[in-house]
Amino acid sequence: MELSKSRREFKRAKRLIPGGVNSPVRAFGSVGGIPRFIDSAKGARIRDVDGNEYIDYVGSWGPMILGHSHPKVLKAVRKAMASGTSFGAPTARESDLAETIRRALPSIQKVRMVSSGTEATMSALRLARGVTGRPRILKFDGCYHGHSDGLLVGAGSGVATLGIPGSPGVPKAMTDQTIIAPFNDLVATRRAFGRWGKQIAAIIVEPIAGNMGCIPPTPGFLEGLRAICDEFGALLIFDEVMTGFRVAKGGAQRLYKVKPDLTTLGKIVGGGLPAAAYGGRRDFMARVAPEGDIYQAGTLSGNPLAVAAGITTLELLEAPGVYETLAERSSTLMSGLAERAEARGIPLTTRSVGGMFGFFFNRGPVDSFAEAQQSDAAAFRRFFASMLEDGVYLAPSPYEAGFVSLAHKKRDIDLTLDAAERALARVARAR
């Protein structure tokens, strides 16, 4: 595979940008090889600067649920752009987007737009602390909620990929306020509340973990969190930056029928442009400035291009059968992979919910970060490298979920499974 241009660009980028990338996992650090520098993308495919084409299961880490360069999204962005790219003043379209979000997620009565998932989660936590007057938060090991200070503890995604416990530069005083419990472990969560209950402002959770691979909640877990929060007067925050509009129109909260107090959204709500949001109960959201006293602001919040892309994407997701199609494609992909691994005696655990999926090179069950870490890292590296060579672009880390889009057709899944057959043969040979 010709990679000279990506290689050259990576070398140049490393001189200019830390690690040559603007977000750590993109550097291919844990899988080795040269990160592909992308030139363009359309539908289910991305093309690198050397002209290699890949079936893409990263989808810009989640937003591209319609596929890349969807003509209607591009048209909406172009139209918005013709009227100006940013005003720093309210627009009618922001209320249109807020209404669309509210219709899909009834737990959100009021919503505030921000520019990234990190901003959404840190703002939701500030709100939870402001509302309850309590300092501590509880998060789950391997869940990732962006890179704000108090959340870089026991974090998934790039932090797990790099195998670091947290980050220098984060004051201990901040992380001391963060309590960690194992994902899917109600006993440990209750124990933490037994000790610090009246100091805990909120539980924040990815209702389906997507930053330690893809790990759905075990039956009763989310309901249990709701009950604990109610008992101790803490807020329940669902971080649906990844799962919102991805696993169902109403997100994981609709799927599992558990109502959080606050929800964070990102990725799909921006339709591939930088936008995110946090929202929830009217009385809580009324505390956000200028209606209330809890401060949060942003120059590009509600940016007209991002809002146009977001509204168009959410409108297109209202078509009947969309989520059934996504679920069918990711489950066909994962069951095909599981069958092929089994035929070769390779231990593999696969998961999929709606349009997201994940796989682990171990027998399972995989319900926690500790179990995800049992996945055979060398097998993943070999599998990843072979798939990439064969034109399939997976997330370059075992600790990230994969995403299918509506542009992935049966033929793409078939081609992917053919490539997986060859990749698994390589994994088997190396064992």
Q: How far is the CB of 46 from ligand HOZ (least distance, A)?
A: 13
Q: Which residues contact 297 (CB under 8 A, 6 or more apart)?
A: 289
H or E stretch at 186: helix 186-196
Residue located via tokens 């171990």: 362
Residues 134-163 within binding reach of ligand HOZ (CB under 6 A):
157-158
Q: Which residues pair with 131 in a beta bridge?
A: none
- Residue 211 interacting with ligand HOZ (CB under 6 A): yes
Measure the CA–CA gap between 157 and 308, rounded to whole angstroms: 29
- Residue 302 vs residues 90, 110, 288, 319: alpha-carbon distances, Å: 8, 14, 16, 25
Q: Binding residues for ligand HOZ, how many (CB under 6 A)?
A: 8
Give the active site residue among 50, 56, 185, 239. Answer: 239
Q: Kindly indicate which of the ranges 22-30, 72-80, 368-376, 420-428 contains the residues binding ligand HOZ, using the contact rule CB under 6 A.
A: 22-30
- Residue 183 interacting with ligand HOZ (CB under 6 A): no
Residue 242 has φ and ψ, to the nearest 5°, of: -90, -45
- DSSP class of residue 236? E
Task: Kindly tell me which residue out of 2, 17, 23, 342 binds ligand HOZ, with binding defined by CB under 6 A.
Answer: 23
Q: How far is the CB of 156 from ligand HOZ (least distance, A)?
A: 8
Residues 239-298 within binding reach of ligand HOZ (CB under 6 A):
none
Residues 28-57 within binding reach of ligand HOZ (CB under 6 A):
none
String of contacts with ligand HOZ for each residue 79-118, x by CB under 6 A: ----------------------------------------
For residue 144, indicate whether it is catalytic. yes
Task: Kindly tell me which residue out of 6, 9, 26, 340 binds ligand HOZ, with binding defined by CB under 6 A.
Answer: 26
Q: How far is the CB of 10 from ligand HOZ (least distance, A)?
A: 15
Measure the CA–CA gap between 30 and 32, rounded to whole angstroms: 6
Cβ distance to ligand HOZ smaller for residue 43 or 158 = 158
Q: Could you tell me if 238 and 260 are in contact, meaning their C-beta atoms sit under 8 angstroms apart? A: yes
| 393 residue type, one letter | Y
H or E stretch at 211: none
Q: Could you tell me if 268 and 63 are in contact, meaning their C-beta atoms sit under 8 angstroms apart? A: yes
Q: Which residues contact 362 (CB under 8 A, 6 or more apart)?
A: 347, 348, 349, 371, 374, 375, 376
Cβ distance to ligand HOZ smaller for residue 61 or 360 = 61
Rg (CA), the chain: 21
Task: Kindly tell me which residue out of 10, 28, 54, 61 binds ligand HOZ, with binding defined by CB under 6 A.
Answer: 61
Cβ distance to ligand HOZ smaller for residue 48 or 94 = 48
For residue 39, indicate whether it is catalytic. no
For residue 249, indicate whether it is catalytic. no
Residues lying near ligand HOZ in the complex (CB under 6 A):
23, 25-26, 61, 157-158, 211, 400
Task: List, by residue number, the catalytic residues.
Answer: 144, 239, 267
